[in-house]
Amino acid sequence: MTAHTIKVAGVAVDTRHWIGGERVASTETFTDASPIDSSVLGEISRGTATEAAAAVAAARDAFPVWAATSRAERACILNAVADGVEKRIEELAIVETMDNGALLRSHRRGVMPRVAHNFRFFADWLLKLDHEDFETRGHTNHVSWDPAGPCVLITPWNAPLMLATWKVAPALAAGNTVVLKPAEWSPLTASLLADIAAEAGLPPGVLNVVQGYGSEVGDTLTSHPDVRRISFTGSVPTAKRIAQSAAANLTPLSLELGGKSPLLVFADADLDLAADLAVEQYDNAGQVCLAATRFLVEESVAEEFTQRVVDKATRLKQGDPRDETTDVGPNIHPRQLEKIDGFVQRALAAGARAVVGGHRKDGQYYAPTLLTDVA
């Protein structure tokens, strides 16, 4: 154990950045607290423009060698990362649950195995990327897949490691190098991923992790002239700032933003199945970007469907996400809780009716809520 290592549910986690194959500490830190009980998990290195620039430089310097690494060798390393994830599924699951409050049983059974699968999937596809030359009007056409360069990947807090590896795995498979910036509300498993990747033989500088606030490291990362690709998952306001920052260098970027998806229920639907799907929207305390947060129901079955949802939703058990019997855990941060309560209270003030929930509970827990009579 070192001064920069914390224990989270018995798992050692380094609180420093990972840059160029080394741990790098910042002079300032930020506090990472568990949404389960607001307990402090640790003080995390708070990145600045200095660490962000160093990470980009490390990714730039590592790029030529990694890009020239054979596809077979890259795939081998990605599979070794997957092996490392699978060996540490229990550790990754409990750390992520402590850090973001999602259900431990979901992390064990679905989320962390999916993390390993992400690496294997892109390792497999990397070996299938092939295309024979073909002729067109006397000209030979050749298809190739060429690495772009250093990629900045900015990830959200609702499924931190799984969503990070959705970006990291394909970027590495393609021969790019990476600077990963995890959400400040849930940074811990990104640090563990850096350890796993290093143990799997990923060369120094190919994967870098910079922690901190987007306002303090984000501009440097997204406006840097050496960055060749940017991928962001998060809010619309932040995406606007990133797009403006990237525009100076015409850096290509991908934005995955929040939605307001509807679940459509028609009169000929299997209403019990539809109600089951509706109640699934409370997964991860509703903090899922593709959650169907609106139910649009044909009028002739609206009353019956609503009652079925109410019956199922009121049976959900809310509490400590480490408990195997818990169905709904806490919201990740007090600010998120305030945002949700603001939505609900404005709806109620406008004439909506809460047939389930509609109120806060102790700590960072919000009762699963269903509003009817909405505009």
Helix, strand, or coil here: 328? strand
Q: Is the pLDDT of residue 237 over 80?
A: yes
> 76 an active-site residue?
no
Structure tokens belonging to residue 76 = 């081998």
pLDDT of residue 289: 85
Taking the CA atoms of 339, 344, 349 and 350 in sequence, report the sign of the dihedral they define.
Answer: positive
Among 199, 289, 303, 324, the active-site one is: 289
- Whether the per-residue pLDDT at 59 is higher than 90: the answer is yes
Full-prediction pTM beyond 0.75? yes
Write the single-letter amino acid at 81: V
Could you tell me the CA-to-CA distances from 138 to 41, 131, 132, 134, 289 in Å, in that order? 65, 18, 16, 10, 49
* Confidence (pLDDT) at 258: 80
- Position 2 pLDDT exceeds 80: no
Residue 35 — φ and ψ, nearest 5°?
A: -70, -15
Residue 66 backbone zone (phi > 0: left; psi -120 to 50: alpha; other: beta) = alpha
Which domains are assigned to the chain? 5-257 (3.40.605.10), 261-372 (3.40.309.10)
Alpha carbon separation from 309 to 297, 312, 350, 354, 355 (Å, rounded): 12, 5, 23, 13, 10
Cα Rg, the chain, nearest whole Å: 22
Distance between CA atoms of residues 202 and 198, nearest Å: 5
Convert the pLDDT of each residue in 273-326 to its tens digit: 999 999 999 999 999 988 999 999 999 999 999 999 999 999 999 999 999 999
Cβ atoms of 46 and 59 closer than 8 Å: no
Residue 145: the pLDDT is: 86
Q: How far is CA 247 from CA 147, 186, 240, 250, 355, in A?
A: 21, 28, 11, 5, 47
Tokens of 25: 């500490």
Closest to 63 measured CA to CA, from 171, 172, 152, 149: 149
Residue 266 has pLDDT above 90, yes or no: yes
pLDDT, tens only, 223-236: 999 999 999 999 99
Nearest CA among 267, 270, 259 for reference residue 293: 259
Look at residue 1 in the predicted model and tell me its pLDDT: 58
Diameter of the chain measured on Cα atoms: 73
- Write down the catalytic residue from 132, 256, 304, 338: 256
